[in-house]
Each structure stands twice: as C-alpha cells, then as structure tokens.
Amino acid sequence: MQYEIDLAPDSYDQLLEAMAPFTKAGRKTGRARKSHKATAVSRDDSAAIRAWAKEAGFEVSNRGRVPAAVREAYAKAH
C-alpha cells in the first residue's frame, strides 16, 4: 500500500520522530532520489500547475503535492 500525507513542517518532524525506531531498523529500497536540480524544476512545474489549476477552477492547496488528477488535467490542457 502507498499513502500520501500533506504535512506542515512541525507535523513532519513529529512523524519522523515517531517513525525513527522503525526506519533505523529498516533498509532503503526502490530507486534513488532525484538530484536537487530536478527537484527545483519540479517545484517550478508545481507552481505553474497550481496557478493553472486555480484559474481552471480546481481546488488546490498552496503547499504540498499537487494531486495526480490535477497534474493529468494540466498535461491534457497543454
């Protein structure tokens, strides 16, 4: 199962603290993280998508992940 949670910085820190005993005992899996440069591009894309979504009548938050459905609608519109 996969979950997505939008957290404020304080909540994020609390979650990391609560998960620390488990993550320390675990091992990383999956693909490597993107470089910082790719993350910056993603942020720029998110800002553009967020602005478009608001103009198009979608309800999106000012922070956190842009929902996949909104990203797909943006891709279809462009």
pLDDT in tens, 36-66: 555 554 666 888 999 999 999 999 988 888 8
| CA–CA separation, 44 and 66 (whole Å) | 12
pLDDT in tens, 12-40: 889 999 989 998 888 888 776 665 555 55
Torsion from C-alpha of 59, 64, 68, 72, nearest 10 degrees: 70
pTM over 0.85: no
| CA–CA separation, 50 and 66 (whole Å) | 7
| CA–CA separation, 57 and 76 (whole Å) | 15
